[in-house]
Amino acid sequence: MKRFKNLLKSLPVFLLLISQFAFAQAVKKETPKEVTTIGIIDTLETKSGFRINEYFIELSKNQLDSLKGKKLAVTGSLLVVKGIDPKEKEISQGSLGDRLFIVKPQFTIIYDAREPLKSE
C-alpha cells in the first residue's frame, strides 16, 4: 500500500515531464540579419515607429530632433513581424503585409539638408 501511495505521489511529476517533452518544438535559432538603409526619416510617427524607406525604427523625441532632415545610413538587426492573413476566419488586428524593423539602430549622417553645402 505504501508503495502504491509513493507511486501516486510521483505520477503528476512524471506526467508533467512527459508533457514538456511531448509538446516541445525544435526551433532553429537564426542569427539576426544585419541591414543598412540610406534615406531621410519620415517624421510622422506611426504605431510601428518612424519610417525610413521600407523599415521602421523606434526613436526618442531627442533622437528625432537631432536626426530630422538629415540623410542617414541606418544599420542594425532586422526584425520581421509577419502580417495577418486576410483569408483567416478569425478577425484580428494588424498589418496585411510583413513589417520590417531595424532593431538597435546605429546612425551615420551622410548629409545634413538643413545646412548649406560648403564650397571651397
Report if residue 56 sits inside a domain.
Answer: yes
Q: Answer whether 20's CB lies under 8 Å from 40's CB.
A: no
Close Cβ partners of 37 (under 8 Å, ≥ 6 residues apart):
52, 53, 54, 55, 73, 74, 102
Cell of 77: 538587426
Report if residue 13 sits inside a domain.
Answer: no
**Which residues constitute the domain of residue 87?**
28-112
Gyration radius of the chain's alpha carbons: 25
Q: Answer whether 32's CB lies under 8 Å from 78's CB.
A: yes
Report if residue 47 sits inside a domain.
Answer: yes
Report if residue 39 sits inside a domain.
Answer: yes
pTM of the model: 0.63
Our count of domains for the chain comes to 1
Report if residue 12 sits inside a domain.
Answer: no
pLDDT per position as a tens digit, 30-89 = 667 999 999 999 999 988 899 999 999 999 999 999 999 899 999 999 998 887 776 777
pLDDT per position as a tens digit, 85-112 = 767 777 666 667 788 999 999 999 998 7
Report if residue 1 sits inside a domain.
Answer: no
Strand partners for 50:
57
